[in-house]
Structure 1
Amino acid sequence: MAIGGTLKRLGIVAATFGGLVIASFAQLVPAQAQTGVGDNDQPESLQELQPVPSNDGDRAARLRTLQQGVLIRNAATQSPASSGIPSTSTVSPISPAQEQEAAIAVVKPVGNQLSSVSLTNDTGTTVTYQVIGDTTRRMLMMDESAMLQGIPLPATITVVRQDEGLVGISATSSEDGMLEISLTPEIALDDTQGVIRIQEDGQVFVN
């Protein structure tokens, strides 16, 4: 009887211990299933932190859009010259040539020259004169005259006052091949100073 009672108590203890072990294992497995991480899974918090990979097609499309925007903006700000496009500038019409100044005298040449040209100095001071290419510089005192003969045409005569004043020039012709030039003081400055031009046809111009 004593041995049987002992075995009965051992069976009860073993059953109780086995139940506790099974209960503990059952609680451990669900906890691992809830908190465990698989080989191919990541925690939800880590998944949220990782960047989402971008699509290559979307990146290329955005790049093309940016490039097109830059090209359009540059085209709007560039001038025609810098962009290589010829500009259509307004060309002003050419103004008609100014009429030639009227001759102060006309003399009929004899052949291709003037037989005589007289210079009378009424400027009140000494002047120097020269037929370019034909005579040297010469002085003409005030109230005196000089006679030049056989002047080939065309001819240019320069006249300068010794006091650097202005010279008024007038000319007349009373006979063929003869020209009389009078030199007077000039007050107003204009574009007819000091140079007498005689053309081949006998027209006389100043400057």
Structure 2
Amino acid sequence: MNYPKFRKSAELFGVICGGLLISMPAIPQAVAQESTPKINPCPRIFYEEPHNNQVVVPQGCPPNALTQRLAAQGLLPVPATPSQEQTNLGVGGETPQPSVKLPRPASGDQTQQPSPGAVSSDQPPLLQPRQTPSATIALANGTVNIKLVNDTATNVTFQVIGDTAPRSLAGKSDVTLQGLKAPVTVTFEREDGGQLIVTPQASSEPGNLNVTFNEATNAAQGRSAMRVEPNGSVFLN
């Protein structure tokens, strides 16, 4: 009889069966671990009435109405930001729904595009070029003395805005306004309704400005106001 061969076959069969018996308990355990669902610590019921205003959510969950109200009153710590795992689960364990894309409007519903020559109301207005100063003077401690010289044959009414009442300057005369703090605006007009040519000129002495009035031949030459800026720039209008 062939006993050695039979003995070797029996030993091999025993080894195979033993290995199967050892590995079998591990298979159900692995399956059980994989099939165990993740428990969401922030179920949807926390955010539904009446729990939304009666139950405080656990630390780390998105705050519901009651949790927010008590935290605002200082009765609870500020709710922590939910973990990434909780965010992926979503409130109640549901996977966040993907955003829904709205259908594109039909050709007849498309927003009308402005014509190439149209100006959009959203565009800022164009900036006007800055006016060139008519004169520039050196102020004395932020103040200026203005000498008005009326070379016309008629009276000129002038006023320092916010400083003096309207005053009259007779023809062929002058007056000096002292210690005006810049910025300062002076208005003037002829009492006969005519136009004035206004010529400002810096004096040789710092802080002094000479302004001469002459009769204008047309309205385009006329000026009715003068402003001295804190940097010494003099503008006419």
TM norm. shorter chain > 0.5: yes
Match of 1:121 among 147, 150, 153: 150
Deviation at 1:84, TM superposition (A): 4.9
What residue is the counterpart of 2:130 in the other structure? 100
- Mapped partners of 1:144, 1:84: distance in 2: 74
Q: Which has the larger radius of gyration?
A: 1
Task: Say if 2:196 and 2:221, in contact at 8 Å, map to a contact too.
Answer: no
After superposing the two structures, state which structure 1 stretch, 144-153 or 167-176, moved more: 167-176
Task: Say if 1:117 and 1:181, in contact at 8 Å, map to a contact too.
Answer: yes
Match of 1:141 among 157, 165, 170: 170
Q: Does 1:186 align with 2:216?
A: yes
Q: Does 1:195 align with 2:220?
A: no
What residue is the counterpart of 1:85 in the other structure? 110
CA RMSD of aligned residues (A): 2.3
Deviation at 1:113, TM superposition (A): 1.2
Q: Does 1:111 align with 2:116?
A: no
SS state at 1:128 partner = strand
- Any unmatched runs of 5+ in structure 2? 1-105
TM-score, structure 1 length as denominator?
0.56
- Mapped partners of 2:133, 2:222: distance in 1: 11
- Any unmatched runs of 5+ in structure 1? 1-74
Deviation at 1:97, TM superposition (A): 2.6
CA gap 1:156/1:129 in 2 versus in 1, 3 angstroms = same
Task: Say if 1:119 and 1:145, in contact at 8 Å, map to a contact too.
Answer: yes
- Mapped partners of 1:122, 1:192: distance in 2: 15
CA gap 1:192/1:200 in 2 versus in 1, 3 angstroms = farther
1:15-42 deviation line (CA, Å, top 9, x unaligned): xxxxxxxxxxxxxxxxxxxxxxxxxxxx
TM-score, structure 2 length as denominator?
0.49
Match of 1:164 among 184, 190, 193: 193
Q: Percent identity?
A: 29
1:152-183 deviation line (CA, Å, top 9, x unaligned): 11010000100010011001112210000000
Between the two proteins, the alignment pairs up a number of residues equal to 126
Paired residue type of 1:88: Q
Q: Say which structure is richer in helix.
A: 1
CA gap 1:163/1:84 in 2 versus in 1, 3 angstroms = farther
Which 4+ residue blocks in structure 1 deviate beyond 3 angstroms? Answer: 90-96
SS state at 1:190 partner = helix
Task: Say if 1:192 and 1:206, in contact at 8 Å, map to a contact too.
Answer: no
Task: Say if 2:216 and 2:222, in contact at 8 Å, map to a contact too.
Answer: no
